[in-house]
Amino acid sequence: MIEISNLHKSYKMGANSLHVLKGINLDIKEGELVSIMGSSGSGKSTLLNILGMLDEADEGSYMLDGVPIKNLNEKKAAQYRNKFLGFIFQSFNLISYKTALDNVALPLYYQGFPRNERMDRANSYLEKVGLADWAGHLPNELSGGQKQRVAIARALASDPKVLLADEPTGALDTKTSYEVMDLIQKINDDGRTILVVTHEHDIAQMTKRIVNLKDGVIIEDTVVSQIRAMENV
Ligand SMILES: Nc1ncnc2c1ncn2[C@@H]1O[C@H](COP(=O)(O)OP(=O)(O)OP(=O)(O)O)[C@@H](O)[C@H]1O
C-alpha cells in the first residue's frame, strides 16, 4: 500500500539546513496497523506529512497503492489524497460551530457528494464510532474522547484506504486513549491500513508493528508479538 525508499527531507533555515529524514525505507502492506515512535524531533510528523501528501520529500520515492506520487500534478495529487487518505489529529480539528454530524459530512461536500449521500454516510459513520445519539451536538458539548470519535468518523466518511493519525491520543487521558485505540483496532479489523504516530509505548503496543525513528533514520522495525487489547490494559 505504501512503499517509500531512500526518502530525504531537509528544512532550510536561513543559511542553514536541517536534515530531518535521512534515507527512510518503509514498506507497509494493505491491512497493517503500524505505529511510528521516536523522541521529539526525530522526524515522525515530517514523515507522516510526506506520507499524507501534505509535504514533499527532497529525494527518494513514494508509491501509494502502486502510484508514484511524484508524477501527479497538483490537482491529481489533491484528488488522490482525498480518495486514499484520511487524517486524524491530536487536537481533533473539528469546526466549533458545526454539529458532530455536519463535521463528519463537510469533507464529503467538498468531494462533491450529493446531500442525501453526505447525510447517510455521516450518520452511519457516527453510528460506527458509537455516537449516533450525539449527531446534533456541537464539539464543545462533547468530551475529548467523543471529539476524537467524531474526527475518526470524519476521516472514515470518504472511505479512504489509509488512515494517518498524528498523536491521536496525545490530548486524552489514559482510559480514553485506550478506548480510542480500541476503536482504531476495530477499524483496522475491517481491513483498513492505519499508521499511528505516538510517543507512548502502551499505545504502540496496541498496534501490530512498531517503527522506531531516531535522528531521521529507522533504527528498529518490529512486529508486536502480544498486541494489547482494551480488555488487558
Ligand atoms: N516547517 C519546518 N521548518 C523548519 N524546521 C522544521 C519544520 N518542521 C519541523 N522542523 C524541525 O524538524 C525536526 C523534526 O520535526 P518533526 O515535527 O518531524 O519531529 P517529531 O518527531 O514529529 O517531533 P514531536 O514528537 O515533537 O512532534 C525538528 O527539529 C523540527 O524543529
* pLDDT single digits (tens) 144-178: 999 999 999 999 998 999 999 999 999 999 999 99
Question: Is 163:195 a contact under the CB 8 Å cutoff?
Answer: yes
Asked if residue 82 has pLDDT above 90, the reply is no
Tell me the one-letter amino acid at 157: A
Q: How far is the CA of 161 from the centre of ligand 1 (A)?
A: 26
Task: With a cut of 70, say whether residue 46 has pLDDT above it.
Answer: yes
ipTM of the complex: 0.95
pLDDT at 80: 87
Residue 197 Cα: closest atom of ligand 1: 22
State residue 140's pLDDT score: 96
User: Residue 43's pLDDT is what?
Assistant: 94
Q: What separation in Å is there between the alpha carbon of 139 and the centre of ligand 1?
A: 29
Tell me if the domain spanning 2-232 has CATH number 3.40.50.970.
no
pLDDT tens per residue across span 52-69 = 999 999 999 999 999 999
Q: How far apart are CA 144 and CA 161, in angstroms?
A: 26
Measure 45 CA to ligand 1 centroid, in angstroms.
7
Q: Nearest CA to 163 among 152, 175, 172?
A: 152
Dump the DSSP string for 153-176.
HHHHHT--SEEEEESTTTTS-HHH
Give the pLDDT of residue 215.
Answer: 93
13: confidence class by pLDDT, cuts 50, 70, 90: confident
Q: Provide the pLDDT for residue 231.
A: 73
| DSSP state for residue 204 in the 8-state scheme | H
Q: What percent of the chain has pLDDT over 90?
A: 85
Closest alpha carbon to 228 in 192, 179, 164, 176: 179
- Output the CA torsion sign for 10, 28, 110, 156: negative
The pLDDT score that the predictor gives to residue 233 is 64
Which cell goes with 3?
A: 512503499
Task: Break the chain down into helix, strand, coil percent, rounded to 5.
Answer: 40, 30, 35
Ordered DSSP codes for 33-75: EEEEE--TTSSHHHHHHHHTTSS--SEEEEEETTEEGGG--HH
Q: Whose CA is nearest to atom 16 of ligand 1?
A: 43
Pocket test for ligand 1, best of 18, 166, 200, 217 (most atoms within 8 A of CB): 18
Among 7, 16, 36, 46, residue to substitute to test ligand 1 (most atoms within 8 Å of Cβ)? 46
